[in-house]
Amino acid sequence: MNKTHIKRYSCKTCGKNFTDFTGTIFSNKKLPLGDMFYIILNLDKKSIKRLADESGHKWDSVYRLAQEFRECLVDEAKDPVLSGEIEFDEMYQSAGTKGLKKTSGN
């Protein structure tokens, strides 16, 4: 995929430069943004090797991106922040078939 120009901004107070992707898993990556989106959107459907082959990138680059994305998901799931009015319903979960009589197949 084609590389796109990423706009840089400068802080008026401290003079540091940053982009829209600073502080995200997309910052400081050599992979084009479109390729990163494609890889992340297909992680649950395709293998790392297949994604690397299709995108034309090295296996380890695709693997690293996938690992960073998964780590972000885990970090977000650790301490969910709920606010406002929250509703939930009860949930039934089967604990298996222990205690049920087996029916004979004869």
Q: pLDDT tens digits, residue range 89-102?
A: 877 666 666 666 77
Place of tokens 């494609």: 38
Enter the tokens of residue 67: 């690992």
Amino acid, single-letter form, for residue 55: S
Structure confidence at residue 106 (pLDDT): 56
Confidence check: pLDDT of 39 > 90: yes
How many residues can be counted in the chain?
A: 106
Determine if residue 63 is left, alpha or beta; phi over 0 gives left, psi from -120 to 50 gives alpha, anything else beta. Answer: alpha
Domain count, the chain: 1
Looking at the domain assignment, is residue 17 inside a domain? no
Looking at the domain assignment, is residue 40 inside a domain? yes
Place of tokens 């829209």: 20
Looking at the domain assignment, is residue 41 inside a domain? yes
Confidence check: pLDDT of 14 > 70: yes
Looking at the domain assignment, is residue 97 inside a domain? no
Residues of the domain holding 59 = 25-77
Looking at the domain assignment, is residue 61 inside a domain? yes
Confidence check: pLDDT of 63 > 90: yes
Confidence check: pLDDT of 105 > 70: no
